Amino acid sequence: MPRWMGGNYKPQVVIEKHGEIFHNEVYANTLRMIQEGGRDAFYRGEIAEELVRWGNSAGIQWQLEDFSSHASTWIEPMSTNYRGRDVFELPPNGQGITVLQMLNMLEGFNLTAMGHNSADYIHALVETKKLAFVDRAKFYSDPEFNDLELAR
């Protein structure tokens, strides 16, 4: 695990007490590096170097070029309205659209009447997820390589 991630978790499993504050100085310092150095601190600096070192030690064939050549693009989120709330997700090539599809299908169910975690409740959630995941596998892909019709 990269050094800058090493402090993300406590060394042993501890059930937190209500109101307890968990401090993570290693992670906080990583975020400060990004705050001060911008995207280059992550993609071209010490963080990228450490990720490459760690990745290579874990059998991942990363190179600094993989990080430094990265280019982000600004995209518009997709949304649906679920029971009066607007829910936003990233479109493909992310998988957030799967969540929006599940919410659209669940709109027709009275989940409250089913009872939280009842057999009917769990069944509705599982079947909805199965249907959305079939569509995800068959239709969702990277729009850089496929024309996708993403209308509701």
Tens of pLDDT along 86-98? 999 988 877 888 9
E strands of the chain, at which residues? 78-82, 85-89
Note if the pTM is more than 0.85. no
Q: What whole-number distance in Å separates Cα of residue 94 and Cα of residue 58?
A: 25
Please report the pLDDT score of residue 3 as a whole number: 57
Which residue in 59, 51, 100 sits closest to 80, CA to CA? Answer: 100
The residue ranking higher by pLDDT, 119 or 72, is 119
**Are residues 85 and 78 in contact, defined by beta-carbon separation less than 8 angstroms?**
no
| Residues contacting residue 140 through CB under 8 Å, at least 6 positions apart | 92, 93, 95, 97, 98, 148
If one compares 25 and 34, the residue with the highest pLDDT of the two is 34
